Structure 1
Amino acid sequence: MQLFADWHVHTSYSDGRATLEEMVAAAASCGLDEVAVTDHGPRAMFIGVREAGVYQELKEQAARLAEHYPVRVLVGAEANVISLSGEIDLPASIIKELDILAAGLHPQVWCLPWWQTVTWILPNRLGKAVGSIREKMREANTLALVAAVRQNPLTFISHPGLGMAVDLDEVARACAVTGCAMEINTGHHYVRDKVVLSALREGARLVVNSDAHVPGTVGKLDIGIKLLDKYRVPPEQVLNARPAPQKVESRLPVFTAIAGRMVSPPS
Structure 2
Amino acid sequence: MRLFADWHVHTRYSDGRGTPEEMVAAAARRGLREVAITDHGPRGMFIGVRDAGVYRELKAQAARLSRRYAVRVLVGAEANVISLRGELDVPAELIPELDVLAAGLHPQVWCRPWWRTLTWILPNRLGKTWGWLRERMRQVNTMALVAAVQNNPLTFITHPDLVMAVDLDRVARACAATGCAMEINTGHHYDRDAVVQAALRRGAPLVVNSDAHLPASVGALDVGARLLDKYRVPPEQVLNAIRPG
TM range (shorter): over 0.9
Q: Deviations over 1:7-41 (max 9, x none)?
A: 00000000000100000000000100000000000
Q: Match for 2:52: what amino acid?
A: A
| TM-fit CA distance, 1:242 | 1.4
Q: Where do 5+ consecutive residues of structure 1 fail to align?
A: 246-267
1:82 paired with 2:82, answer: yes
SS in 2 for 1:184: strand
Q: Distance in 2 between matches of 1:101 and 1:39?
A: 11
1:173 paired with 2:173, answer: yes
Q: Is the 8 A contact 1:2 1:244 kept in 2?
A: no
Q: Distance in 2 between matches of 1:244 and 1:194?
A: 26
Q: Match for 1:238: what amino acid?
A: V
Q: Match for 2:159: what amino acid?
A: H
TM-score normalised by length of structure 2: 0.99
Q: What is residue 264 of structure 1 aligned with on the other side? A: none
SS in 2 for 1:96: helix
Report the identity percentage: 76
Q: Which runs of 4+ in 1 moved over 3 A?
A: none
Q: What is residue 63 of structure 2 aligned with on the other side? A: 63
Q: What is residue 137 of structure 1 aligned with on the other side? A: 137
SS in 2 for 1:225: helix
Q: Distance in 1 between matches of 2:233 and 2:98?
A: 28
| TM-fit CA distance, 1:244 | 5.3
1:127-206 equivalence runs, <5 A: 127-206=127-206
| TM-fit CA distance, 1:94 | 1.0
**Bigger proportion of residues as helix:** 2
Q: Distance in 2 between matches of 1:98 and 1:42?
A: 15
Q: What is residue 114 of structure 2 aligned with on the other side? A: 114
Q: Distance in 2 between matches of 1:115 and 1:235?
A: 43
Q: What is residue 251 of structure 1 aligned with on the other side? A: none
Q: Of the two, which has the highest radius of gyration? A: 1
Q: Where do 5+ consecutive residues of structure 2 fail to align?
A: none
SS in 2 for 1:219: coil
Q: Distance in 2 between matches of 1:96 and 1:90?
A: 11
Relative contact order, CA 8 A, sep 6+: which one is greater? 2
Q: What is residue 102 of structure 2 aligned with on the other side? A: 102
| TM-fit CA distance, 1:121 | 0.2
Q: Deviations over 1:168-211 (max 9, x none)?
A: 00000000000000000000000000000000000000000000
Q: Match for 1:225: what amino acid?
A: A
SS in 2 for 1:74: strand
SS in 1 for 2:78: strand
Q: Distance in 2 between matches of 1:147 and 1:47?
A: 23
Q: Deviations over 1:75-134 (max 9, x none)?
A: 000000000110000111111100000000000000000010000000000001101100
Q: Distance in 1 between matches of 2:156 and 2:66?
A: 24
